[in-house]
Structure formats: C-alpha cells, structure tokens
C-alpha cells in the first residue's frame, strides 16, 4: 500500500489559533494513524495579507503542541517541489499555459472596470451570483491585445455535475452552472488559491485533504482542475465549524474563549491539554473517557468518527481538561511549571525559603486550572490583605465563635512547633471543647486565621502562613 500523505497549508496571514490548530491536528492524527506523512506547506500567494512573523510563530506553536511536521520548508524533500507557494510561480505559470493549450483555460483581457460594469449589469437584472460572461473566450481581436495585461481564466463547462465523496459529509454534488470562469493566474503572474492548491497537492502527492468546511465551495473548482489535467483527486474531508457559546464561528471576538494558542501558553495551559481538547472538537472517540495523550489519539483515530454537526468550544471544559493534565504532572514538574507563572511584581519569591515556597504551591496542585491562576491564591501568603465584604458577611452569619477564637489564639501563641499536625490537634480539641463541628468549627477558624473563607487544607495553610502572620490576622478581626 502506498503511504498516505496529508498536509496543513496555512496562509501566513495570521497566527496559530484554535481553528487552524484543529485542522493541523486532524491532519497529523490522520497521517500518523496510518503511518503516513504530515506535511506543512505555506500558502503565501496573497502577498499583501501576509503578516510578518506569522510563519515562525505558527511553527513554534505547533512544535510546542507536539504537532511537528514530517516535511516542511525546513525539512523539504526535493522531489515534492517547494513547500512555499511564493517559490513556485514558474511552475504555476507553466501549468496554466498548458491548460490554455489544452483548451481548458483562456486569456482574459477585461480590465477591473469592465468587469465591474459587467457585474453591475447582471445585478441590475436581478442576478445575485454574478458570473464572468466568457467574453474573452470568444473575442477575435486577441492579436491586437497582445501587449495588454491579462488574467488566465479556467473555462468552466456549461452544465456539468461535479461530485465529491467527502469523508465527513458523504456524497456532495455541485453543478458547473453555479461556477463562473474563475481566474487561475493573475495578470501579475501570481496563481490564485484554487489553482495553486491543486498544483501543490498534486506535486506533493497528497492523498487526503483535510480542512475546514469553509473550503467546501472551493472544492468543485479544484475538481475541475484535477479533471482538466487528468490527475487523480485526493480524498476530501471537510471538518465542521467550531462555534462559540453564541453559536457563531469561533473567532478572536468570541467572548469567553481565548482564540490564539499563544494566549493559552501565556496563561499557563499545558500543550498536552490543548492537544487533548482540540482533538475532541469535531471528532470523538468511542466511550466516555475524555483525557487522552497524543499517542492514544494517534492509535485510536478513525476517520468515521468525525462529527457532522458544529462543535462548541467550551472554555469551562478546556480549563477542566487542563486541570486534569496539571494533576498528572509530577510534583517536581508541577512546581517548575507553576513558578514560571508567578507574577514577580506582586510576589517577591526570591527572598523566600525554597521549601516553604514549594509547600505553598503544592497546596494548590489539585485545584489549579491553569498556571497563572496561582496568582489568585498567593496574596494571603505574601501581602497584607483585607477581608472582603463577602467574607465579613459570612462571618456575620456565624454565631458564638468569639470564645473559641480567643482560645485558638492562646493555643497558637503557646505552640512551639507551628506544624500541620499540631494545628490539626488544636482544631480538633477546640471542636470538642466548644461542641462544634463542620462549618461551625472550620469557617470561623479559617476566616480569622487566613482572612478568607475559601482556601486549601486549613491546618497546612495555617502552618505555612506562620505564627506571626496568623496571630496578626486573628487580631485584625477580633
Ligand atoms: N491556505 C488555506 C487556508 O489557510 C488552506 C486551504 C486548504 O487547505 O486547501 O485556509
């Protein structure tokens, strides 16, 4: 069996985001499941829209996510041609001219103004999907126009069925009536997307084209080009949309969700978690399990399990999956990872005892959803904090705690070894003496010692805050 070959073909008009990552990732899984090749090719023919640094940034973020190409402009194989469209202009020109020779394409000398007039005339006649009139296909003054600039247009047949067997959608049929004679090579010598993509997929012997559903309307045009050259089409696979919670296509304007991979990196998400969640957008495994590694996804990938309806990007789920991956980190890796996200301008960790700092960070290992969330928890350990109005209110709902807190204060003053187990003993003794348990016991103690009504394991927290700070906290509220 020949090796399958798939490609992710970004245009360097922007940075890696959830949408194009999903495309890259599905191509990667599809290819690697069948021991095929995953290729990254740059579609940079739209020169004005190219964004500086976009290519480097996309490669860097893909590498971080573990979606590394087997071939790219950094790892090329000569026989497949160049991996960047801007280096293939001669190739596109040669092939466009071949199509003219074969009668599948023709030179169009119409100026933008003439085309505009044509469009307006059609619109005036109530035509919504305006098409080029084929004027230049039939004109007989070509010889006089020789020196004028021209586009090369594909000559689309009048009434021809174009069938696609899409991996996700099954049979989809188009009719050439709906397609005007489209430009394949512009007068400036630059190939258009629909032409270049076919030439490249052919040159690179791509077997499967996996991309977003916004490209499905381009596919019949591409099929016409394959057929004109007598080339075998790849298998097409158009992934359904990723939408936000308002059911609009996920974008940088989507409210809750972050869009760019770099944003997740900056906030302290793990690459394994992003890979995990993005692989579940528009694809699902059998069964209920949701946490999988890249290797597991590669193994269980199945092209029959692409979803036929849009998938909603859910930030809550993204965070949950990240928290699961954070829990899986060894303590050592968790500490190293979390420290990178501490806001050093607010929390001066340099003058702290390293073991103390590690213990404080470990308090939150089970609950952090992402790295930079640690900053929400550090205030009580580093700074003087004020009790919030909410906590004061909670305190107001509790009764009868004054004696217990005074006793707690006394016990803590006299405690020599300010250590977790000793503090636990004091709390349990207080429970017995004052006949309190559960919330009535713990909540007042927590609020008085930590100035907050929420937090991790109480005795450990008190021990890490240290005697001086805890007594100061109690006094501030008494
Ligand atoms: N350059 C296209 C895009 O970024 C890729 C289209 C394709 O995969 O054919 O959407």
The 10s digit of each residue's pLDDT in 244-259 is 999 999 999 998 889 9
Residue 265 Cα, ligand 1 centroid: separation in angstroms? 25
CA distance 51 to 256: 26
Does residue 334 register a pLDDT over 90?
A: yes
- Closest Cα to residue 400, out of 458, 440, 450? 440
CA distance 198 to 226: 7
Annotated binding site for ATP: 252
* HSE of 471, CA atoms in CB hemisphere, 13 A: 12
**What mean pLDDT, rounded, does the chain reach?**
95
Residue range 88-239 forms a domain whose CATH class is alpha beta
CA distance 279 to 27: 11
- Give the confidence band of 262 by pLDDT, cuts at 50, 70, 90: very high
183-185 and 242-243 beta bridge pairing: unpaired
CATH number for the region 1-73+240-328 comes to: 3.40.50.620
Does residue 238 register a pLDDT over 80?
A: yes
Residue 214 Cα, ligand 1 centroid: separation in angstroms? 9
- Residues 363, 456: contact at Cβ < 8 Å? yes
The 10s digit of each residue's pLDDT in 156-198 is 998 999 999 999 999 999 999 999 999 999 999 999 999 999 9
Q: Which two tokens stand for residue 66?
A: 């573990």
- Closest Cα to residue 71, out of 56, 60, 82? 82
- Residues 448, 462: contact at Cβ < 8 Å? no
Q: Which CATH architecture has domain 389-477?
A: Orthogonal Bundle (1.10)
| pLDDT, position 256 | 82
Report the nearest atom of ligand 1 relative to the CA of 197.
Answer: 9
Does residue 319 register a pLDDT over 80?
A: yes
Domain ranges of the chain: 1-73+240-328, 88-239, 329-378, 389-477
Averaged pLDDT for residues 419-436: 97
Contacts of 325 (CB under 8 A, 6+ apart): 270, 272, 273, 276, 291
- Residues 466, 353: contact at Cβ < 8 Å? no
Longest Cα pair distance anywhere in the chain, in angstroms? 108
What is the number of other CB atoms lying within 10 angstroms of the CB of residue 265? 17
- Residues 137, 106: contact at Cβ < 8 Å? yes
Averaged pLDDT for residues 372-385: 95
Task: Write the residue with the smallest CA distance to atom 6 of ligand 1.
Answer: 9
Residue 9 Cα, ligand 1 centroid: separation in angstroms? 5
| pLDDT, position 352 | 92
Residues flanking ligand 1, CB < 6 Å? 9-11, 43, 197, 211, 215
Averaged pLDDT for residues 421-441: 96
Predicted TM-score of the model (pTM): 0.93
Residue 42 Cα, ligand 1 centroid: separation in angstroms? 9
| pLDDT, position 128 | 87
Averaged pLDDT for residues 351-356: 94
Does residue 142 register a pLDDT over 80?
A: no
CA distance 440 to 280: 44
Domains 1-73+240-328 and 88-239 alike in fold: yes
Helix boundaries (H) for 354-451:
354-362, 375-382, 389-397, 402-414, 420-434, 438-450
Q: Which two tokens stand for residue 320?
A: 């949950």
| pLDDT, position 21 | 98
| pLDDT, position 107 | 95
- Give the confidence band of 398 by pLDDT, cuts at 50, 70, 90: confident
The 10s digit of each residue's pLDDT in 37-59 is 999 999 998 888 889 999 999 99
Report the nearest atom of ligand 1 relative to the CA of 10.
Answer: 4
Which of the listed residues 197, 223, 225, 238 should we mutate to test ligand 1's pocket, taking the one with most ligand atoms within 8 A of CB? Answer: 197
Taking each helix axis from N to C end, the angle separating 54-65 and 271-279, rounded to the nearest 10 degrees, works out to: 90
- Residues 443, 391: contact at Cβ < 8 Å? no
- Closest Cα to residue 194, out of 92, 125, 294, 268? 92
């Amino acid at each position: 069996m020949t090796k399958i070959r798939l490609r992710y073909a970004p245009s360097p008009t922007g940075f890696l985001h959830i949408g194009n990552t999903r495309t890259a990732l599905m191509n990667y899984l599809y290819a690697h499941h069948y021991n095929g090749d995953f290729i990254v090719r740059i579609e940079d023919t739209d020169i004005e829209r190219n964004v500086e640094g976009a290519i480097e940034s996309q490669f860097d973020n893909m590498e971080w996510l573990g979606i590394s190409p087997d071939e790219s402009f950094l790892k090329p194989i000569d026989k497949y041609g160049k991996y960047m469209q801007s280096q293939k202009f001669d190739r596109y020109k040669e092939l466009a001219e071949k199509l003219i020779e074969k009668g599948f394409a023709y030179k169009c000398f119409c100026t933008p103004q003439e085309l505009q007039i044509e469009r307006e005339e059609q619109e005036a006649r109530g035509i919504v999907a305006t098409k080029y009139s084929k004027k230049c296909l039939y004109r007989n003054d070509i010889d006089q126009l020789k020196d004028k600039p021209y586009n090369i247009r594909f000559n689309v047949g009048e009434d021809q069925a174009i069938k696609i067997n899409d991996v996700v959608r099954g049979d989809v049929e188009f009719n050439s009536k709906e397609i005007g004679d489209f430009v394949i090579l512009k007068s400036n010598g630059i190939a258009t997307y629909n032409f270049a993509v076919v030439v490249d997929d052919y040159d690179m012997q791509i077997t499967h084209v996996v991309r977003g559903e916004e490209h499905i309307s381009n596919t019949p045009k591409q099929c016409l080009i394959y057929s004109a050259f007598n080339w075998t089409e790849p298998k097409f696979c158009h992934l359904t949309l990723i939408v936000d919670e308002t059911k609009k296509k996920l974008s940088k304007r989507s409210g809750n969700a972050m869009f760019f991979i770099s944003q997740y990196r900056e906030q302290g998400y793990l690459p394994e978690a992003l890979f995990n969640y993005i692989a579940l957008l528009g694809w699902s495994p059998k069964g209920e399990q949701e946490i999988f590694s890249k290797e597991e996804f590669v193994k269980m990938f199945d092209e029959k399990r692409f979803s036929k309806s849009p998938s909603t990007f859910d930030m809550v789920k993204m965070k949950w999956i990240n928290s699961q991956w954070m829990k899986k980190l060894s303590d050592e890796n968790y500490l190293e990872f979390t420290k990178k996200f501490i806001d050093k301008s607010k929390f001066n960790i340099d003058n702290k005892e390293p073991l103390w700092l590690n213990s404080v960070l470990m308090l939150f290992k089970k609950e952090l959803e992402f790295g930079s969330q640690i900053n929400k928890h550090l205030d009580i350990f580093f700074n003087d904090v004020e009790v919030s109005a909410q906590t004061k209110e909670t305190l107001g709902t509790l009764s009868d705690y004054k004696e217990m807190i005074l006793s707690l204060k006394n016990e803590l003053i006299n405690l020599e070894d300010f250590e977790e187990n000793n503090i636990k003993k004091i709390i349990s003794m207080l429970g017995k003496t004052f006949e309190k348990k559960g919330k009535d016991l713990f909540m007042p103690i927590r609020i008085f010692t930590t100035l907050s009504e929420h937090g991790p394991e109480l005795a450990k927290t008190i021990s890490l805050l240290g005697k001086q700070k805890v007594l100061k906290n109690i006094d501030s509220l008494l």
